[in-house]
Structure 1
Amino acid sequence: MFNTVDMHCDTIMKIYQSKQQGTAERLRRNTYQIDREKLEKGEYLLQNFALFMDMKETDSPYTTCKEMIQCFHEEMADNQDWISPVTTYEEILTNQKNGKISALLTMEEGAPIQGELKKLEEFYKDGVRMITLTWNYPNEIGYPNAAFFDEQSKILSVNQKGLTKQGIAVVQRMEELGMIIDVSHGSDQLVEDVLTYTNKPFVASHSNARAVCPHFRNLSDSLIKKIAERGGVIGMNYCDLFITEDGSGSLIEGLVTHIKHFRDIGGIDCIGLGSDFDGIPVTQELIDASTVSKLHQALIQAGFSTQELEKIFYGNVLRLYKEVLR
C-alpha cells in the first residue's frame, strides 16, 4: 500500500476542451490519463488539477481561465461521492479519513491575473492554491526559460530576465494569501528572483534535473540545491523528453536516475511527483495514473527505503502544503 500525491496534470483542460467540442469526456470516466478508476488503481491521495491555456490560442486568458474553473467545480459537484476539492492541509486529512481523493486547483500560466493583485485575490477566492508563474511565453509576472533558449545552438542564454516589478508584488501577495508559488517553466533568473523576494518554501511542480537530461525545462543543480534549502519540493515530470536526452530508453529507469540525482544534490526531502499527465505524450511504461506503482516498485528495487518512498510519493508535498496553504 502507498499513497500518491501528484502536483500537476492537465486533465481539466482536456475535459473543458471536450465540452467545447460537444464530446462526452468527464472526470468520472474518460479516455485520458486520469479518471476515477485510474486514480483509485494508483492509490491517489491527492491530485492537483491545473488550469492551463495557451496564450496564443485564446483571446482572453482571464475569461478562458474562469470558464475552466467553472468546469472544475462542475466536475467536483458531479463526482462528490469519491473526490472533493481542497484548499487546506486539514481538508486533505478529512478527505482521507472519509475515503475520498482530494483535488487541489492550480493554475499553469499566470497570464489570467494580468499582473493585478485584485485578480490574484479573485482566483484565490475561486479556490486556486498554486500558480505556475509562466508557461513558455513571457507574461506580466515574468519570463520562462523558453524565451532564452536558442533552438539551433541548443544553448540557454545566461543573460536572462526573471520576475517583473508586477511579478515581485504577485509572489509576495501569494505568500501572504497562502498560495503556493510554482517555478516550473520559469527562467533560471525567475527562480533566483523568487528566492530573493520571498521567504516560504515553493515548488517546481513538474521539472526534472538538467544535469541528467539537458533540457531547458529542467533545473540546474544550483537551483535544485537552493529550492531544497528553502524547504521546497520538485515534482518529477513523466515527459520522455525531460527524462532522457533523445527521449528514448526506459522511462521508469530514467525517472529513477533523476530521483537519485535529486537525492544526491538536494536531499530526499525535496522530491515529489508531478506527472504532467494529459499534458504530455502517452508512453507505454507509464500510460496513465493507474500505472504509478511501476515507479514505486522500481524505486524499491533501486534500494530506496520505505521512509524515502513515503516522502517522494506524498510526505514531502504534504509537509509543504501544511506549511504554506491557508
Structure 2
Amino acid sequence: MHRIRGRYILVLLLVLCFSVTAVAVTSPALRAEDIHLNASVIDTHNDTMMKVVDERTWLPVIDIGGTTPADFQLDIAKAKAGGLDVAFYAAYNVYQTDSAHIIPRTNSRTLALINALHWTAQRNRDTMVIARSMSELEKGLADGKHVAVATLEGMYAFTDENAIELLHQYDDLGVRAAGIVWNTPNSLGAGAHVANQDPDAGLTDLGKAVIREMNRLGIIVDVSHMNETTFYDTMAIVQAPVIASHSGVDGVRPHVRNLSDDQLLALKENGGVAHINFWATTVADVGQTATIARLADHIDYVAGFIGVDHVGLGSDFDGAPMPVDLPNASHLPHLTEELVRRGYSEEDLKKILGGNALRVFREVEAQAQQPDSPRGLGFTILPELQPGEIIHDTRPRFAAQVISHGGHFVDAATFRVIVNGIPYEPEWHAATGTLSLEMPTPLLNRGNTEDRGNFHVITFEGSSGSRVVARETLIVYLQ
C-alpha cells in the first residue's frame, strides 16, 4: 500500500513538473520570441539615411554596419537584435516646393539619400543587400542578410517637364515604393496639411499619370501623408494594392496623419495594407504616454475592423520620437510579445509582422507591365563614370562605351542620355563605339546658397526599334 502510494506521488510530481515546463515553454515571452524569429519581419518606413549623410555635403559618412551614434534608432546591429529582416529606407525631402528655384535641390537631396543607401550596402556586402525585386528580396532573406528596399517620401522634384523620365530613373536606381507627397502640396497632389475642401486638394493630372506609370513599372504606391481628397483620387485610379507605409488610425488616436474608418475600408477593398506608425504623437492622445500597448491598440483596431490581412508595421525609425518602451529596432520583439498576450495566432502574427507587406510587394510586381526581354540583341552600355563618382566640371562630358553583342549597331537616333529626367540626343562615335554628351547648360543646383550636396542622375539608353535594349543609370556628385 505504501509502495503504491509512493508511486502515485512520484507520478503526480512528474506530471506537475511537465506541466510547469509546458507553461514555461508557452509563456508569452518565449512564444513571442519563437514566432518573431521565425517570421519575416518587415518595417515599411524609416528615415535612417538622413542621419547617414553629412549635413553640409550630403555625402554618406556614417556606416550603419558599424558603431553608430547613440541617437540612431536603426542600424544593422539593432535590426539583427530585433529580428528586423527587411527595412524600407525612405528618401525624404526637406525641400518641398515645386518652384524652379528649388526643384534641382529637391532632386539632389533625394538622390543623396539613395546614394547613401547604395554606399551603405556596398560597404556591408556580407550582411546587407538592396532588393530591387521579389526574387532579390527572397534571396536576401534566404542568405540571412539585412534586406533594404529603397523608397521615396515626397516626389517634389517631379514636374510636367521631367516626371515620367525621372520616375524611370528612380526605378532604375531600385526604388520600389513611393509616396507622391509629404504634408505639403506639389505638382502631383496635396499632402495632409492641405484642407480636403481646398480647390487645390487632390491629385493633379500629372499625379494621375505618375501613379499609372508607377503601376506599370511595379512601384508600390504609398498613400501615407496624403490628405483625404488625394487619397480617394488615388484609390479611384490605382490598379494594384497600395500601402500606407507609416500611418496610425483615427479610431484610436484622431490625428491628421492617421487613417479614418472610411479610408481603412478603401484600403481593404484595394487589397492594401495600413502599416502602423510608431511615432509617439500618432500613437497616443495628448497627455498620454506612447507605449507598446497603445501601439498595439492601433494594430488591434485595424485587424478587428478590416481584417488581419491589412495591417503591418511602419516604424518611422530615425524620423520621429518612439514609444517609451520601444526606443529602437532592437526592441521589436516586445511588440510581438504584446500581441501574443492579446491572443493573436502564429499565422496572424506572421501576417502582421511582414507577410502582408510581402503579399503587396508580390502582387504589385506581378501586375506590372514587364518589359520584353532583349534576348541578347544589340549591345551593352558601359558608362565611363562609376556610381557615386565625384566630378568637378559644371558642364561635364558624359560618355559610355557601347559593346556590340556580335551584330551591327543601330543608328545614333536610337541612343539617348537622360539627365535629371530630361532627355538629350548624344553624339555617336561609330569608330570608337562611344556615346557622349557635353551638357549644354551647367549642372548647378540653382539657389544653392547653403553650399550643400549637388547630386545628379544620368541614364544612357539605347533602343532597337521600339524596344529598349540597354540602359544604365547612375548617380554622380558635382563638387
Do structure 1's residue 280 and structure 2's residue 317 form an aligned pair? no
Do structure 1's residue 61 and structure 2's residue 106 form an aligned pair? yes
Task: Say whether the 8 Å CA contact 2:153–2:179 is kept in structure 1.
Answer: yes
TM-score by length of 1: 0.93
Do structure 1's residue 237 and structure 2's residue 277 form an aligned pair? yes
- Partner AA of 1:8 in structure 2: H
Among 133, 139, 143, the residue aligned to 2:180: 133
The residue number in structure 2 matching 1:78 is 123
Answer with 257-266 or 271-280: which moved more.
257-266
Task: Say whether the 8 Å CA contact 1:184–1:217 is kept in structure 2.
Answer: yes
Unaligned runs of at least 5 residues, structure 1 = 149-155
Q: Identity of aligned pairs, percent?
A: 30
Moved over 4 A (4+): 21-24, 156-160
- Partner AA of 2:150 in structure 1: L
Question: How far apart in 2 are the matches of 1:141 and 1:229?
Answer: 24
Question: How far apart in 2 are the matches of 1:248 and 1:164?
Answer: 38
Among 333, 343, 350, the residue aligned to 1:310: 350
CA-CA distance at 1:21 after TM superposition: 7.7
Q: 1:158 to 1:303 in 2, by over 3 A?
A: farther
Question: How far apart in 1 are the matches of 2:120 and 2:237?
Answer: 36
Q: 1:250 to 1:302 in 2, by over 3 A?
A: farther
Residue by residue over 1:210-235, the C-alpha shift from the partner in whole angstroms, topping out at 9 and shown as x without a partner, is 12111010000011011112110111
Question: How far apart in 1 are the matches of 2:88 and 2:287?
Answer: 25
Do structure 1's residue 265 and structure 2's residue 310 form an aligned pair? no
The residue number in structure 1 matching 2:237 is 197
| Higher RCO (CA-CA < 8 Å; seq separation 6+) | 1
Task: Say whether the 8 Å CA contact 2:89–2:150 is kept in structure 1.
Answer: yes
- Partner AA of 1:67 in structure 2: A
TM-score by length of 2: 0.64
Question: How far apart in 2 are the matches of 1:203 and 1:105?
Answer: 15
Question: How far apart in 1 are the matches of 2:241 and 2:96?
Answer: 31
Q: 1:289 to 1:19 in 2, by over 3 A?
A: farther
- How many residue pairs end up in the alignment? 319
SS in 1 for 2:87: strand
- Partner AA of 2:127 in structure 1: W
The residue number in structure 1 matching 2:79 is 39
CA-CA distance at 1:26 after TM superposition: 1.9
The residue number in structure 2 matching 1:161 is 201
- Partner AA of 1:68 in structure 2: L
Unaligned runs of at least 5 residues, structure 2 = 1-33, 369-479
- Partner AA of 1:140 in structure 2: S
- Partner AA of 2:68 in structure 1: N
Among 152, 162, 165, the residue aligned to 1:118: 165
- Partner AA of 2:229 in structure 1: Q
The residue number in structure 1 matching 2:136 is 91
SS in 1 for 2:246: coil
Residue by residue over 1:171-220, the C-alpha shift from the partner in whole angstroms, topping out at 9 and shown as x without a partner, is 00000000000010001111111111112100100001012111010000
The residue number in structure 2 matching 1:151 is none
1:4-15 matches, within 5 Å, as: 4-15=41-52
SS in 2 for 1:111: coil
Aligned-residue Cα RMSD (Å) equals 2.0
Task: Say whether the 8 Å CA contact 1:5–1:273 is kept in structure 2.
Answer: yes
Answer with 247-256 or 101-110: which moved more.
247-256
1:177-188 matches, within 5 Å, as: 177-188=217-228
In our comparison, the structure showing a higher alpha carbon Rg is: 2
Task: Say whether the 8 Å CA contact 1:240–1:247 is kept in structure 2.
Answer: no
Question: How far apart in 1 are the matches of 2:84 and 2:290?
Answer: 24
The residue number in structure 1 matching 2:17 is none
Question: How far apart in 1 are the matches of 2:134 and 2:57?
Answer: 33
The residue number in structure 2 matching 1:30 is 68
CA-CA distance at 1:93 after TM superposition: 1.1
Task: Say whether the 8 Å CA contact 1:160–1:187 is kept in structure 2.
Answer: no
Q: 1:22 to 1:72 in 2, by over 3 A?
A: closer
Higher helix share: 1
Q: 1:106 to 1:21 in 2, by over 3 A?
A: closer
CA-CA distance at 1:158 after TM superposition: 8.3
Answer with 305-314 or 276-285: which moved more.
276-285
Q: 1:240 to 1:290 in 2, by over 3 A?
A: same
